[in-house]
Structure 1
């Protein structure tokens, strides 16, 4: 299968794209594949991060899963899809958000062959207002492939998801699934927060402000909730154990960094449901960072944003290195930002992904 032509994207020669992570040789890389430290073991790196039971994937662009076979007797076919997230468009008061999202749309529309669909992993806007939604919809209308949405907290907590459900998800529930060419695809609603607003008599605007602030402990932690976990178990009941399972969530489906609420409190219960399946890839947004790791049979990929890059948590800095781990420069229009291409391989069911990291090759503004 032909992938996106980098010359179509930017008029420049092909260049490999790599993710932050630890290679099998123990090298720590940043998003530009600059070696930061040598001789650091995977075990040491994971213990430093405080993620017991986690193994980071190797840094190169493809994250390969175990072979799968078929879904309901249908052979797995080749297909490609794109992933976008965290555009945080703010209306006309913040033009760079529009410029960045439009750059991603141009690149996705230039893919050859065209992707079967685009998954949008939430936080399309920032303050939840009707003006911001209309502004985002005007921009995203330029995207040619079919787009499937799930919600982020910024899309949800002003009107409790009313607009996003009606105009974007367009389903009866904020979580859903579908089958595509032998793969089973699950879009989760991971931005559930316990009611922190009613007893405090917060206005919708005050509720949105707390929910959207990663440094405000009043919001509590995210959770899937019992109803969604029960739905997951029922939804997967008849899916073959070796079928490709593609899971999309706004927030990490694990416990990554609690101070910034990069955290799903009941993620372990979801992991238990997914554990019998051999071919599970989870893509999540929210962190605005490249993150690769694995828990048991499940591989996790953090998705870049098109809005702004978050710094890495301080736990990334305790590797015995001097100074800070390199940060994207927010003053540069495209540094630390981007989107992703993912592929499912026919027959084997292997899943791979490529990070279109604009730090390496900024698009034309």
Structure 2
């Protein structure tokens, strides 16, 4: 067992102390998961000091030194817009995506670009992709970097996704780029899913990753983004990537690694050494907590509560800090 120390309030308002997560076996234990989920809906600003994650609830941001929040680079993550979904869990996914754009446009520090971590569409239909692109044109950041979710590669093994978003990428759509001294790596783990729906990177992509990072200095901040979590959140539901350990072996030399994922439609965070793992909320609908349902899938909540379980992620790089600041905001 490894320890993650969180300083925050749960949705019920009770202060929580230390949360113990099972990082060495099959994901976090159920008690830790439920506590983490109670915290997640509030949003958080996260930093690491001495290898320990410190998380401040959104209500406490006013207490922080603004210098802690400002840096050389700021970007936002959105995920799981599922355009085309029209079930009771959210009959207006276009409306909630527009609300996410409004939230991004209202951030105190304007993001320089967006990351979309997949499931742009619900059924890989051209019109669904078109609608998302039209909505995102209203976002202040004009540069958008995508990786596919499994809903974006239905029927054609991602051919349409690559034609739209994969220009200049390698293989099935993986790529990297640099922004202000930070190295970003977009990975694809939704093709060739394994038993139970686990993600897979595959040998070719992993060889590319090893080569991509080997020439960078250990002090280079690394941001990796992919759809399915690159850590074992809940393998029974396919919430993990089968060969993620090999990817991590190529990244462990770096002093600051941030891994951003979607897929599970809820915010979770874990730290292992110099690596911070973060999953984002969906802009479309929530999914249940493991142990609260027989299987994953769209979860209906009262209409007046929907925006409180959807959200965006704002990430800020401050040179000299060990980790990137991560702030989750609901769409309320």
TM-score by length of 2: 0.77
> Could you tell me which residue of structure 2 aligns to residue 35 of structure 1?
14
1:115: how far off?
A: 1.1
Secondary structure of the equivalent of 2:329? Answer: strand
1:170 matched to 2:167? The reply is yes
Partner of 1:337: 310
Post-superposition shift, 1:24? 5.2
Give, in angstroms, the shift of residue 119 of structure 1.
0.5
CA distance in 2, matches of 1:350, 1:221: 28
- Pairwise CA distance, 1:112: 4.2
Q: Please state how far the C-alpha of 1:178 moved relative to its aligned partner.
A: 0.8
Alignment partner, residue 150 of structure 1: 147
Q: Structure 1, residues 318-356: CA drift from partner, whole Å, max 9, x if none?
A: xxxxxxxxx983533413101011100034464101111
Separation in 2, partners of 1:95, 1:141: 22
RMSD: 3.3
- In 2, Cα distance between equivalents of 1:292 and 1:87: 21
**What does residue 120 of structure 2 align with?**
124
Q: C-alpha separation between the residues in 2 aligned to 1:343 and 1:33?
A: 28
The equivalent of 1:86 in structure 2 is 80
Cα distance in structure 1, aligned partners of 2:300 and 2:222: 32
Shift of 1:293: 0.6
Give the match's secondary structure for 2:269: strand
Q: Is the 8 A contact 2:72 2:318 kept in 1?
A: yes
Q: For structure 1, which runs of at least 5 residues remain unmatched after alignment?
A: 1-20, 68-76, 197-216, 317-326
Q: What residue number does 2:100 align with? A: 104
After superposition, the Cα gap between the structure-2 partners of 1:278 and 1:334, relative to the gap in structure 1 and judged at 3 Å, is same
Structure 1 residue 95: Cα displacement: 5.0
Q: What is the CA distance between 1:170 and its match in structure 2?
A: 2.4
* 8 A Cα contact 1:329 1:335, kept in partner: no
CA displacement 1:106-158 (0-9 Å, x = unmatched): 22123344211111111011111122222222222222311111111101122
For residues 350 and 129 of structure 1, do their structure 2 counterparts lie closer, same or farther at Cα, with a shift above 3 Å needed?
same
Q: 1:61 aligned to 33, 38, 44, which one?
A: 44
Give the structure with the higher percent strand: 2
1:246-265 to 2 correspondence within 5 Å? 246-265=223-242
Q: Matches of 2:311 and 2:218 in 1, distance apart?
A: 33
Partner of 1:140: 136
User: Does 339-348 or 164-173 show the bigger shift?
Assistant: 164-173
**In structure 2, how many angstroms separate the alpha carbons of the residues matched to 1:52 and 1:100?**
30
- Tell me: CA distance 1:24–1:115, structure 2 relative to 1, closer, same or farther (3 Å): closer
Count of aligned residue pairs for this structure pair: 291
Contact 1:48–1:315 (Cα < 8 Å) also in 2: no
Q: 2:105 & 2:175 partners in 1: Cα distance?
A: 26
Change in Cα spacing, 1:268 to 1:149, as seen in structure 2 (3 Å) is same
Bigger relative CO (Cα 8 Å, ≥ 6 apart): 1
Larger radius of gyration: 1
* 8 A contact 2:258–2:323 mirrored in 1: no
After superposition, residues 277-288 of structure 1 pair within 5 angstroms as 277-288=254-265
Report if the CA contact (8 A) 2:224-2:258 is conserved: yes
Give 5+ residue unaligned stretches, structure 2. Answer: 51-70, 294-298
Asked whether the equivalents of residues 121 and 152 of structure 1 are also in contact (C-alpha less than 8 Å), the reply is: yes
TM-score w.r.t. the length of structure 1 is 0.70
Find the aligned partners of 2:165 and 2:282 in 1 and give their Cα distance: 19
Distance change in 2, residues 1:184/1:349 (3 Å): farther
Counterpart Cα distance in 2 of 1:22 and 1:350: 15
